[in-house]
Structure 1
Amino acid sequence: MYTAYVIITVTAIVANAGIAGADFAGARFVYANSAEVGVPRSWVPWLGALKAAGAAGLLLGLLGFRLLGVAAAVGLVLFFTGAVVAHVRTRVFHNLAFPAGYLGLGLAALLLALAR
């Protein structure tokens, strides 16, 4: 079980750090996606900061700060639940797999952290 926890959590860390980096860099696809779901461009860096904080918290959880890792996973689950809701609310389904995938990673990391 511990191996699955490490693999899933490291995957979630890399994925969230990567997309946070894209947010910070102002990648075109990030701005296009946020515009489609009605998120103002000015929010993108702040949303990137939340993703980066989630990745950092997951890493700290792996390094022994279990409650911080659990809290970070909860935060990511809530964040990406909101992203999925935004996509469904605005009927933007063509790229729904991305926030749903991040949600799945966060949920898996949370469940595995709780099972430890």
Structure 2
Amino acid sequence: MFIAYAVVAVLLALMAAASAFLTLTKNPQVMATMTKVGVPDSWLPGLAAAKAAGALGLLAGLFVPLLGEAAALGLLLYFIGAAVSHLRVKDYALGPLLPLIALPVAALVLRTAST
């Protein structure tokens, strides 16, 4: 189970880190989505930091199980919040968020099962 967790954790960490980078650098696609959802520009550094912290926590979780579980839970809550923000403005195109919600769930299950 640990190998499966490691694969999922690294994949999710890469996705979260990429999302953090794109948010921090104000990628035009990301900015269009943030504007549509109503996220103020002043929140972008904090949101990017949360995703980056989740990515680092997942990687550290390869060595410290509780940290990996906390990071996966944090990212799960972050992306559920993102989905709620989209639904709040009646943006039902949640396809890109689905893997970002499914992977933390898988990481939590696999990390718990491997300890």
- Alignment TM-score > 0.5, same fold: yes
| CA apart distance, 1:85 | 0.8
Pairing 1:109–2:115 present: no
Distance (Å, rounded) in 2 between the aligned partners of 1:105 and 1:3: 15
1:84 is matched with: 83
Segments of structure 1 that go 5 or more residues without pairing to the other structure are: none
Distance (Å, rounded) in 1 between the aligned partners of 2:32 and 2:46: 16
Aligned length: 114
Distance (Å, rounded) in 1 between the aligned partners of 2:26 and 2:39: 14
| CA apart distance, 1:25 | 1.0
1:100 is matched with: 98
TM-score, normalising length: structure 1: 0.93
**Following superposition of structure 1 onto structure 2, how do residues 8-23 of structure 1 map, counting pairs within 5 Å?**
8-23=8-23
- Matched AA of 1:21: F
- Matched AA of 1:48: A
**Following superposition of structure 1 onto structure 2, how do residues 1-116 of structure 1 map, counting pairs within 5 Å?**
1-62=1-62, 64-94=63-93, 96-116=94-114
| CA apart distance, 1:82 | 0.4
Consecutive aligned runs of 4 or more in structure 1 exceeding 4 Å deviation:
none
Identity percentage over the alignment? 43
Distance (Å, rounded) in 1 between the aligned partners of 2:89 and 2:36: 8
| CA apart distance, 1:70 | 0.6
State the SS of the aligned residue for 1:97.
coil
Segments of structure 2 that go 5 or more residues without pairing to the other structure are: none
| CA apart distance, 1:42 | 1.5
TM-score, normalising length: structure 2: 0.93
- Matched AA of 2:43: W
